[in-house]
Amino acid sequence: MRGLVLTLAVFTALGSPLAFGQIPPAQSPGSASYSGVSVEPNEQIFDTMCALDAAGFDADESTLGQMPGRLALRADLLKLKGPATVALREFYRSHALADSGENLSRYIAFAVVAGPPPKFAFVVDRDLLPPAVLSIDGFEDVLADFYREANLAARWRQLNPEHQAVMSRYQAVVARIVSVSNGYLREVVRPSGALTFSVFVEPLVGNRTIASNTGDRYAIVAGTTSEVPADDIQHAYLHFLLDPIALRNRQAIETKGVLLNIAARAPNLPPEYRDDFVALADECFIKAVELRLRRISPDQLEAALVEDDLAGYILVRPLVAQLKVFEKSDPSMSYYFGDLIGGVDVAAEQKRLHGITFAAAPTTVATNQEKASSAGGKADIDRMLDQGDREIAVQNATAARATFEKVLEQSPDQPRAIYGLAIASVLTGDAPRAKDLFEKLVSSPPSAGSDPPSNPVDPTLVSWSHIYLGRIHDLEGDRSSAVGEYKAALGVDGAPESARLAAQRGMDAAYSAQPAPTGTATQKP
């Protein structure tokens, strides 16, 4: 999204509702007079994670030591074999990404904007849905069918006590974050039906924390690790608290916009800030508040400010200076922000930053095989491969094709690029080219003849290439060749279970094109 940026929106809380606003230390955080911020259960996230369990998602079970019921449920879900479960597994397989973190994030993003069961209708307008949710369009219907077949309503009621016990550790942390942040900024969170901040705790996300907002709905999801990720929660909460203030003062911020010409030169500055000065100013504002809340020594503060400058967050230093003035004043930040941003001296900052050498982008020591694989280096190849995967996920076949072709110009035998280009060819209806590319992967692996292999082929790519070839043969009416490809997929050492299931289904019955635009043959597994 443009404007104020939080990365991805995903949040899961399992336990009893607990609302917070500005929470004085001596007052119960459960007081009904405080709202807008909550640690609460979310059945949609639970149902979505149950669906991922049944589909074979490789979740982190290490966080389930105190939840024997949830661990047993995982085993039960994997044994389900009903028609809705079969459809769910096919949907998951046909939309899966190679990166398990990105894979999970899309489904959690869906759960955050999904309404209650049994329909899971979206609670925001479709044009506000994040691209990650649109990339799994139709999942709400698949989940609704699975919800009924797996009787998830009863499972949710049964496991609530376990979830409440796990979630309780987060309540005190969130209460402290709200109290300290609101107290420092002299802000009060008032009840609102629109702007909300939710902390959801979902054991199976492991060590991940994912935060974002969709419209006025801010949230963060975290796993049940040994330590509550307080810093991540605080950062997300400060976005909830301060984004609206920055937006209301957009015009004042934009008067300092010439400084973006300097910040945008920083190699490590995230792309979303390079052409959006309001977003950059907002992020720097939040980083500055975090530094003041940490109450670190002058030497530690200076080291942090230098680090921010070198990364491109050049407004953190002047905003920290302005916050020191704010701390001696009386108004809340809502009323003071105009003075805060007005105190940033553009000319002084231009002079201070003149000739600055920003930190270089991270590099790795290239091996001989990496040097041979790409004139631009392996880091560039990996970046383009990830970009192509994302373009496939949102079905932007034209962009994906261009991306993967660019990779192949630098590294002609790159398996992920060959596979991605094959999938892009399927999306654009170029079956002959897709067939040639899949056959290249399975008949003569690109790494053949080199020791060690220069570009080893992932068994996942090989097995799925056989499956796609089998489906192409089925669509061409060549059942004998199709069965041969499905058998070959079953024979690939290291093939994932999802590929084995798809290959076995191909053995049992000929593949037929799916009527929906997001059908199996048009998505990367």
Residue 238 pLDDT level (bands cut at 50, 70, 90) = very high
Assess contact for 523 and 423: CB atoms under 8 A: yes
419-437 residue pLDDT tens: 889 988 887 888 889 899 9
- Give me 60's structure tokens: 């982190």
At 138, is the secondary structure helix, strand, or coil? Answer: coil
380-415 residue pLDDT tens: 787 788 777 766 765 677 878 888 888 888 888 888
Q: Is the dihedral of CA 363, 367, 373, 375 positive or negative?
A: positive
CA distance 129 to 214: 7
pLDDT at 191 over 80: no
133-169 residue pLDDT tens: 888 889 999 999 999 999 999 999 988 777 777 777 8
pLDDT at 364 over 70: no
At 8, is the secondary structure helix, strand, or coil? Answer: coil
What is the model's pTM?
0.63
- Give me 180's structure tokens: 């300290």
Amino acid at 491: G
pLDDT at 183 over 80: yes
Question: What domains appear along the chain, each with residue ranges and CATH number?
Answer: 18-215 (no CATH), 249-353 (no CATH), 370-522 (1.25.40.10)
Q: Helix crossing, 459-475 with 479-490: angle to 10°?
A: 170
Closest CA to 343 of 282, 247, 252: 252
Q: What is the pLDDT of the chain when averaged over all its residues? A: 80
How many Cα atoms are found within 13 Å in the side-chain-facing hemisphere of 51? 32
